[in-house]
Structure 1
């Protein structure tokens, strides 16, 4: 059930943001268009590291399919949520750990300084917040990080295919 909610929310949020950006005539502008901002990120990484844009995109794809589901779930749900829960309780720790999870997604675009695409970054941070809470729920419900890791992995695949 959590997987279905995750997919429906993720796809719906992406479609809504894309529609809003397109209807305002901002599609393709990396300062507003999330997909264009990710392409600018890949182009910036390619220049900085002396690799092709395609190679930069491949590295990023591996990052979101391998590191993100495992590393983020281990850190934000396994470690941070666990430590905070002992001190602040379930709800406060869910909110606090998810706020940090959301902020970290915004920081992807800091690589593009001084032209940080703030609007796509804020959208990403806001749109992953409910997802982070859903991952806390999955973790609490199963008392295992395996399910949040799998859901995170599958959600990132859906995002990668939709991009």
Structure 2
């Protein structure tokens, strides 16, 4: 994204990174602790909840009537669209903006990774 959008807010790495409003007076050790706590919580509970919901409840609900193939397309689509809230619809300069091309890239990436998660779940079930 750096190649396409540089340091602008259309680069999701920059937008998300700048959205945390960390006070400048916090020392490096406190920033590290703050990062550790946030990362631990964010990388533990969010993915577990998402996997249980999307690959568990949503997929299972649709698989019963539509089959696994259509179900994983539906749960992957839902997963991708839900992640627009992470990036795509942004609040910048006191107004909401929808960034079409970056959002399209973001959603397609989330769709592909969701399919990969489904494949991993299926492979894991074989063992």
TM-score in same-fold range (> 0.5): yes
Paired positions, count? 115
Identify, as 1 or 2, the structure richer in helix.
1
Q: For 2:6, what is the secondary structure of its paired residue?
A: coil
Deviations 1:60-82 (A, max 9, x none): 53343112221111111011111
Separation (CA, whole Å) in 2 of partners of 1:58 and 1:121: 28
Query: Which residue in the other structure is 2:107 paired with?
Result: 125
Q: Which residue in the other structure is 2:116 paired with?
A: 134
Note the residue ranges of structure 2 that are not aligned, 5 or more in a row.
Answer: none
Gaps of 5+ in 1: 1-16, 145-163
Q: 1:116 Cα shift?
A: 3.7
Q: Find the residue that maps to 2:96 and give its secondary structure.
A: coil
Contact 2:79–2:114 (CA under 8 A) maintained in structure 1: yes
Q: Which runs of 4+ in 1 moved over 4 A?
A: 54-60
Structure 1 residues 131, 96: closer, same or farther in 2, change over 3 A? Answer: same
Query: Normalising by structure 1, what TM-score?
Result: 0.58
Structure of larger gyration radius: 2
Q: Is the 8 A contact 2:11 2:102 kept in 1?
A: yes
Deviations along 1:104-140, one digit per CA (max 9) or x if unpaired, are 1111244637334624433222112111001111112
Report the RMSD for the aligned CA atoms in angstroms.
2.9
| Structure 2 contact 90–97 (Cα < 8 Å) conserved | yes
Could you tell me how far apart the structure 1 residues matched to 2:107 and 2:41 are?
18
| Contact kept in structure 2, 1:98 and 1:133, CA below 8 Å | yes
Q: 1:67 aligns with which of 39, 45, 51?
A: 45
- The TM-score normalised by the length of structure 2 is 0.72
| Contact 2:8–2:14, Cα closer than 8 Å, also in 1 | yes
